[in-house]
Structure 1
Amino acid sequence: MAQRRTVARPAKVPAATKPAPPRNQPVPFAGQLASSRWVDSVMATLTPDQRVAQLFMVAAYSNRTRADEDSVSALIQRYGIGGLIFFQGGPVRQSRLLNRYQSQARVPLLIAMDAEWGVGMRLDSVVRFPFQMSLGGLKDNEPIYQMGQQVAAQFKRLGMHVNFAPVVDINNNAQNPVIGFRSWGENRENVTEKSLQYMQGMQDAGVLAVAKHFPGHGDTDVDSHLALPLLRVDRQRLDTLELFPFRELMAKGLGGMMVAHLNIPALDTTGVPSTLSKPIIEGLLRQKMGFEGIIFTDAMNMKGVTTKYPAGEADVRALLAGNDILEFSEDIPLALRMVREAIDKDQISQAEIDRRCRKVLALKQWAGLDRYRPIELKNIIADLNTPHDQYLSRQLSELSVTVLRNQQSLLPLQRLDTLRLATLTLGTTDTTAFQRRVADYAPVRHFWLPASPSLDELTKMRETLKLYNTVLVGVNNLGRQPATGFGVTPEMNVLLRELGGKGQQLVVSVFGTAYAVERLRDLNRAGAVVLAYQESQNAQEVAAEAIFGGISASGKLPVTVSRTYGYGAGLATAGGTRLRYSFPEAVGMSNDLESRVDSVMNGALAAGAFPGGEVLIARRGTVVLRKSYGTQTYGPSARPVRNDDLYDLASLTKVSAALPALMKLQDEGKFSPDMTLGQLFPEFKGTNKQDLKLRDVLTHQARLKSWIPFWKDYTKPRGLFNALFGKSPAASMVSLTKPSELNRRYFRPDSSARFPLRAATGLWARQGFPELITQAIAESPLNDKPGYVYSDLSFIMYPRFVKAASGKPLDQFVRDELYQPLGATTLGFNPTRRFPLSRIAPTEYDSLFRHSQLQGTVHDEGAALLGGVSGHAGLFGSANDLAKLVQLYAWNGRYGGQQLIKSETLADYTRCQFCPDNRRALGFDRPATNPGLNSAQSASPASYGHTGFTGTLFWVDPKEELICIVLTNRVNPTRRNNKISSLNVRTNVLQVALESIRQKPAVETTVEE
């Protein structure tokens, strides 16, 4: 990237002071213009008529017929026109077409585009940057310089050289139908500073910037595409306002200027359009202001010119006025013939034509056309949509969000567990990006209304929304024209007037031009008003993130929209209180993160390690990767995995349900890891477990058995304890792996008061199982030798303690105390009670116990006998909701403005308790002494997390402020598939995430369940 130049804030010019001509910096191509062998050599090959043709730029499209394309080819081959301006189409089609056109040109063609917010303004399949007015309220202008650089990179990749941008017009007229959102705003210093950054970003990267529309199109109420606007201002106003940014850009080396079609009596009393006015172009722009760059006309097919001056005559007049290049001439053969006649009549000299032709050729040399090479088509779409482009567009959208109203600090929203939340989108009947992002933060119901609903629809919606205490309204599908009220309808205002009554919080987000805010009545009824300026996906998503505190709002209004909301209005809100969604570059991670994770996950899919899965990686509270891979099951008709799918989290239940419940109870003084099992469980008094210390139990060194296959004791013909303790190891294994016959005394196909525990679809267990399992644990022997042995048994018991200590079952306790405040609505037990089966990833076909395909029922047999609710297994959830809990851990127990777990409690639970002999923290796993045994090679010693038998993992690295989540259903269709561990899939994903920060080589690792 070229060195950024510092731009000083221009000083205000007093109204009574006549500005002095600036001392302009040289235009970018000044060196080639002064002395160039290439320009001399090309000039020597051109006839006088061909030199005239170099001053014409023809419109081209890549989405039209072959006949249209051939007509442009004819102009290139027959007349030798100098350049093209491309409009709508696609990047690959345009590049193929441009290669054809360039191959037909005797002199390489100068290629331009109106790409005010990037090439995506004209072409499909290209990332778009925000509108200029969206960026008008940015406090820091550096990202606009970066945008200029990236837009220039897009141009160069597409073989283009001139961007008709920035729009330098000061838009101080809300009724302006043609500039509006295309302007930076109404303040001359702000417009100038941002225009300078954009201009310098492009020109430093080798693309000519063209400021427009000279001498200022901001204070008009007529569209020059349709008629000739009259600018009713005096010369003093023009000097101190409209001309100010043009003058400053020229002083900094502006290379191009586009002249507007305007009637400006203060500059030319004849009524001639400024494009054709010699006093304006030659007298003012060239002589008085000293501009030495290329002067372009605005499109010569616009009604602002053609209603009075027909084709040919308009072109001649434009050249006589002093323009260098004529854009979009209506009739090239006629124009060239009439210019030749004007030369023959001495209206303009051939020498003057030659001088301008040399300037055009010098510009072509500066743009690299003296070394022309065809456009390489390979990878062109990827090159136009780099991760940096996407990040920069996202960053600009974040910085632009403007909060206009925030009564009683409503934003960011607090206490999600107290909200009954609804979204209402006005102007569309489809789920919007705003609504989808809201759903990432909290449980919500979505509603829609068209822009002009019927009275019946309005009445029904008003009644429906009374059920919700917080309504987030998105105003979508707005227009850009003042004549249409910017798309705001009377019906919208009727509904907004009736919302936000007593007991209901109303947040209105405007996804359209700032001027639409004035047309929305009764916004004072809203608790908060958010302006996102446009309806792009980025704009909608970052508005939602600002509402929930994922990002801060810092934008300011670049224009006055009403008496209430004037220029500079904008309230700051807090960010970083909940998850934010962006790109790796936002938090100092490399842009190849996604491709490297893709390699790991796609390799695992190809090897058959699992049917599908999801990866979520976040750093510093910012989700930088959230992506699903594969399908829910194997087979050609399997449904692709989606980011909102739920997974059986298996042993992650220990650290995502049981452990946070214990920490919460500890904060309330009801639990301590220095207690004993006998103190927690009356059932253990008098047993060999009575005196086991919780600190030993939670670190798996209390000599508890690893696990007990409880279900075996209630099947035929083998009994549990015979299988475990009464036979040889070989005989025991046989008894545990052969299919069993369920005992009807304990299992039934239908639920009833006696059989209320759902063990699988169509299989219900007897109500006394929790007591039977508790008894089995109490009577089980301890391991003969002390030392670390990973055990499920204590975690099976913790729900009993949680209920005794809190009065609530474990699932209700963690829901009320953690998941609802976090907005983690998918985390929970027995998910089929709340979500459709289609959203839940299937696990194993259980051929030994339940004899069915498990989907929505816990995979672990012991948890199934407990009705799906246990402390060691049974929790389901999505990666996004699990990330909220994990981020709570990473943020020392704080999330969404609430301290849900004391920081000192978390610090104790996540530290190694008995290192170096035992790596474990309290409940959490930590990196083994031998690096790579259970975690990534590069994981810091302070990191912690857990894995799950079904193919799940989360890991927190406090040193790098990183969290990593991998969810799969690797046990589908059988648990015997252990490729996820043999291939080190989960730890390799974590390693890639760490390397994207540290850039260390990958190391093969293994994982322990």
Structure 2
Amino acid sequence: MQLKKYFSHTLVFALVLIADSSFAQKASLISSLAQQNQWVDSVYDKLNRRQRIGQLFFVRAHTNRGQAYSDSVGKVIKKEHVGGLVFFQGGPGRQANLVNQYQQISRIPLLIAMDGEWGLGMRLDSTISYPYQMALGAIQDNNLIYKMGQAVAYDFKRLGVQINFAPDFDVNNNPNNPVINYRSFGDNKYNVARKGIAYAKGMQDAGLIAIAKHFPGHGDTNVDSHFDLPLLPFTRERLDSLEMYPFHEAINAGIGGVMIAHMAIPALDTTKNLPSTLSRPIITDILKDSLMFKGLVASDAMEMKGVTKYFPNGEADLKTFMAGMDLIELSENSKNAAKLIRKEVRKKHIAPEEFEAKVKKILAAKYWAGLSNYTPVVTENLLQDLNRPAATELVQQLSDAAITLIKGDSRLLKQDTSKKTAIVSIGVTGQTVFQQELSKKYPNSMLFLVGKDTPVSALNKMLESIKQYDQVFVGIHDTRLRPASKLDYSSDVKLLIAELAAKNNSVISVFANAYTIAGLPGIEKSGAILVAYQKDDAMQRAAVKAITGQIKPTGKLPVSVNTFFPTGTGQNQL
């Protein structure tokens, strides 16, 4: 029986991957929401006011916080009749079991959501991580990104998850953005729109609800809304033409959901210190009426300081509800918030038909996701299915397609394999995949390691040693969990990079956020520069393939680094 189930899952994934980029596989969520639905009407009629309000709330869930925490979430499900859960850190096996338990105790099947911009690996151990959106922004074949969307959908659905709070449709035109940055497809609004739509269509065609975020655009902020309220000080004309452009395109393409950001935007709503999540002019007047969006409108996490700083204890949830929100995510105090909302509904301070439409929209999303015929997550072969060879192969394909040659050509990449070669990895404490794979192609080579804070004496000694080598390959690695726009190297190590770049026949590969190149003066003197965007093994293998002529570096820089390397820089001469 287990073997039969495994082949069944494999077949489903194969069918998903060969699907084309139309919505032919399944009626879109948007069209489904517009239709009368007997199941939705029947469920709605059986719920009282308290239970209907509960359907709008999605609460936090983890599988790495112990039994007491898991039990507390179960109590909230029973008492507050919440519409869904948002799972965060943990493991896939534990999550599958917990989803089954939670679904069993819920009167109405729960919509399970995750924030998985680069797949399950963003949250769960033992699962696949696909490249960050900045790396995807460099890829010229959007069909690969569509396939990634389908693969992500397979993973989510295999784990009993129906919503992905992704893709990120923000145009990141601020290199110092502390919260979006590498999570964006780049600073070109057209590229962001195309890539985001490809990713979203892949997920939606495979039956997963995609949520575009963070409307009306979080890409040009210097404040993280997790900690404070960012200000977007631009004109309405600028916001319409730039920040909102990708969302407009996503809506036209049939995106199922849109997430609202926590930002103060005076050009759209002059109310002081009012986050966009609480603004009726932004949510209802602009998104729903002007842009005619008919899908799910979801809040960003309502526990974030960007909203709770000025509206604590459930007050923010009431305001977002009145502003037009459908899905209230991660309330700071869902019990009190529901009580406040119930009072307003009872007093008819919101039109009864608007309230009914909100609740039915959540129920219709459940129907579209298949929850009217809910079946538990199959736990047999779960890890094997989530780590199938086809997914690993797709990660490598995406990485190969993202590699970007921003300086140099094939003559400086594929150097003489018989010459004495120095292979240097910077920012690490042990040998890297880049060094191991490259040394196989250059047998007459020596490996050098440089830490983030290696003393000057050791750096000078290494430079002296490298003089005897004919050619130098350098890997710049950001080993931090997230690739920030500035490297945490000492100034001496940064000077070393400039020294290495100035050497004859030097090739530098950057396994870090593309913006970090701007903080490395002198790197532009290198004979050739490859941008690989992140530290992952697949990217390191892709760089080696490009250097040795196994693939063409066809990527284009998705962001402007500096005057040397603007958006769109990229060569493919091989």
2:289 is aligned to 287
2:65 is aligned to 64
Residue 64 of structure 1: how far off its partner (Å): 1.2
The residue type paired with residue 146 of structure 1 is K
Q: Distance in 2 between matches of 1:513 and 1:352?
A: 44
Cα deviation digits, residues 412-443 of structure 1 (max 9, x gap): 22x211x2112221111111111111122122
| Cα pair 2:501 2:508 within 8 Å, conserved | no
Cα separation, partners in 2 of 1:406 and 1:6, compared to 1, 3 Å = farther
1:457 equivalent in alignment to 2:458: yes
What is the DSSP-based 3-state SS (H/G/I as helix, E as strand, rest coil) of the residue aligned with 1:499? helix
1:510 is aligned to 510
Cα separation, partners in 2 of 1:500 and 1:290, compared to 1, 3 Å = closer
Residue 345 of structure 1: how far off its partner (Å): 3.8
1:247 equivalent in alignment to 2:248: yes
Select 1:398's aligned residue among 384, 397, 400. 400
| Cα pair 1:286 1:292 within 8 Å, conserved | yes
What is the DSSP-based 3-state SS (H/G/I as helix, E as strand, rest coil) of the residue aligned with 1:390? helix
What is the DSSP-based 3-state SS (H/G/I as helix, E as strand, rest coil) of the residue aligned with 1:35? coil
2:530 is aligned to 530
Q: Distance in 2 between matches of 1:248 and 1:45?
A: 38
Cα deviation digits, residues 329-368 of structure 1 (max 9, x gap): 1112111111122223433245432221111001001000
Select 2:411's aligned residue among 400, 409, 412. 409
The residue type paired with residue 378 of structure 2 is E
2:478 is aligned to 477
1:374 equivalent in alignment to 2:390: no
Residue 42 of structure 1: how far off its partner (Å): 1.1
1:212 is aligned to 213
Cα separation, partners in 2 of 1:153 and 1:408, compared to 1, 3 Å = closer
Residue 467 of structure 1: how far off its partner (Å): 2.4
What is the DSSP-based 3-state SS (H/G/I as helix, E as strand, rest coil) of the residue aligned with 2:135? helix
What is the DSSP-based 3-state SS (H/G/I as helix, E as strand, rest coil) of the residue aligned with 2:302? coil
Q: Distance in 1 between matches of 2:348 and 2:501?
A: 72
Q: Distance in 2 between matches of 1:483 and 1:140?
A: 26
The residue type paired with residue 174 of structure 2 is N
2:32 is aligned to 31
| Cα pair 1:297 1:325 within 8 Å, conserved | yes
What is the DSSP-based 3-state SS (H/G/I as helix, E as strand, rest coil) of the residue aligned with 1:275? helix
1:944 is aligned to none
What is the DSSP-based 3-state SS (H/G/I as helix, E as strand, rest coil) of the residue aligned with 1:285? helix
Aligned pairs (5 A) from 1:143-162? 143-162=144-163
Residue 37 of structure 1: how far off its partner (Å): 1.6
List alignment gaps of at least 5 residues for structure 2: 1-14
What is the DSSP-based 3-state SS (H/G/I as helix, E as strand, rest coil) of the residue aligned with 2:281? helix
Q: Distance in 1 between matches of 2:485 and 2:249?
A: 35
1:442 is aligned to 442
Cα separation, partners in 2 of 1:27 and 1:265, compared to 1, 3 Å = farther
Residue 117 of structure 1: how far off its partner (Å): 1.1
Aligned pairs (5 A) from 1:311-350? 311-350=313-352
Cα deviation digits, residues 530-575 of structure 1 (max 9, x gap): 110001110111111211112211111001000000010011142x
The residue type paired with residue 422 of structure 1 is A
Cα separation, partners in 2 of 1:484 and 1:568, compared to 1, 3 Å = closer
Aligned pairs (5 A) from 1:814-963? none
What is the DSSP-based 3-state SS (H/G/I as helix, E as strand, rest coil) of the residue aligned with 1:4? coil
Q: Distance in 2 between matches of 1:338 and 1:6?
A: 43
Residue 483 of structure 1: how far off its partner (Å): 8.4
Residue 374 of structure 1: how far off its partner (Å): 0.6
Q: Distance in 2 between matches of 1:207 and 1:501?
A: 50
The residue type paired with residue 314 of structure 1 is A
Cα deviation digits, residues 453-491 of structure 1 (max 9, x gap): 112221222122222222211111255889882434312
Q: Distance in 2 between matches of 1:112 and 1:571?
A: 40
1:546 equivalent in alignment to 2:562: no
Aligned pairs (5 A) from 1:716-865? none
Cα separation, partners in 2 of 1:311 and 1:101, compared to 1, 3 Å = same
Cα deviation digits, residues 105-145 of structure 1 (max 9, x gap): 00000011111111111111112111111011211111111
Q: Distance in 2 between matches of 1:407 and 1:40?
A: 63
Cα deviation digits, residues 388-419 of structure 1 (max 9, x gap): 21111110000000111116830122x211x2
Cα deviation digits, residues 683-715 of structure 1 (max 9, x gap): xxxxxxxxxxxxxxxxxxxxxxxxxxxxxxxxx
What is the DSSP-based 3-state SS (H/G/I as helix, E as strand, rest coil) of the residue aligned with 1:535? coil
Aligned pairs (5 A) from 1:421-432? 421-432=421-432
1:567 is aligned to 567
Residue 244 of structure 1: how far off its partner (Å): 1.1
Residue 208 of structure 1: how far off its partner (Å): 0.8
| Cα pair 1:175 1:482 within 8 Å, conserved | no
Cα separation, partners in 2 of 1:281 and 1:27, compared to 1, 3 Å = farther
Q: Distance in 1 between matches of 2:200 and 2:326?
A: 20
1:617 is aligned to none
2:92 is aligned to 91
1:837 is aligned to none
1:224 is aligned to 225
User: Higher relative CO (CA 8 A, sep ≥ 6), structure 1 or 2?
Assistant: 2
| Cα pair 2:485 2:514 within 8 Å, conserved | no
2:307 is aligned to 305
1:266 is aligned to 267
Q: Distance in 1 between matches of 2:47 and 2:488?
A: 53
What is the DSSP-based 3-state SS (H/G/I as helix, E as strand, rest coil) of the residue aligned with 1:471? strand
What is the DSSP-based 3-state SS (H/G/I as helix, E as strand, rest coil) of the residue aligned with 2:112? strand
Cα separation, partners in 2 of 1:484 and 1:163, compared to 1, 3 Å = closer
| Cα pair 1:56 1:325 within 8 Å, conserved | yes
Cα separation, partners in 2 of 1:482 and 1:63, compared to 1, 3 Å = closer
2:41 is aligned to 40
Cα deviation digits, residues 174-207 of structure 1 (max 9, x gap): 1111111111111111111111111111111101
Q: Distance in 2 between matches of 1:466 and 1:407?
A: 24
Select 1:296's aligned residue among 295, 298, 308. 298
1:4 equivalent in alignment to 2:20: yes
Cα separation, partners in 2 of 1:389 and 1:480, compared to 1, 3 Å = closer
Q: Distance in 2 between matches of 1:211 and 1:55?
A: 18
| Cα pair 2:211 2:257 within 8 Å, conserved | yes
Q: Distance in 2 between matches of 1:467 and 1:460?
A: 12
| Cα pair 1:479 1:487 within 8 Å, conserved | no
1:927 is aligned to none
The residue type paired with residue 99 of structure 2 is L
| Cα pair 2:452 2:493 within 8 Å, conserved | yes
What is the DSSP-based 3-state SS (H/G/I as helix, E as strand, rest coil) of the residue aligned with 1:416? coil
Range that drifts further, 486-495 or 398-407: 486-495
Q: Distance in 1 between matches of 2:94 and 2:22?
A: 39
Q: Distance in 1 between matches of 2:88 and 2:344?
A: 31
The number of residue pairs the alignment matches comes to: 554
1:183 equivalent in alignment to 2:184: yes
1:55 equivalent in alignment to 2:73: no
Cα deviation digits, residues 488-514 of structure 1 (max 9, x gap): 431222112322556x42211111111
Range that drifts further, 291-300 or 303-312: 303-312
| Cα pair 2:498 2:521 within 8 Å, conserved | yes
The residue type paired with residue 20 of structure 2 is R
Q: Distance in 2 between matches of 1:259 and 1:275?
A: 6
* Structure whose alpha-carbon radius of gyration is higher: 1
| Cα pair 2:405 2:531 within 8 Å, conserved | yes
Q: Distance in 2 between matches of 1:273 and 1:56?
A: 19
Q: Distance in 2 between matches of 1:469 and 1:70?
A: 63
1:257 is aligned to 258
Q: Distance in 1 between matches of 2:216 and 2:355?
A: 24
Q: Distance in 2 between matches of 1:64 and 1:408?
A: 51
Residue 5 of structure 1: how far off its partner (Å): 3.2
Residue identity over aligned pairs, in percent, reads 44
1:623 is aligned to none
Cα deviation digits, residues 206-257 of structure 1 (max 9, x gap): 0111000000111111111111111121111111111111111111211100
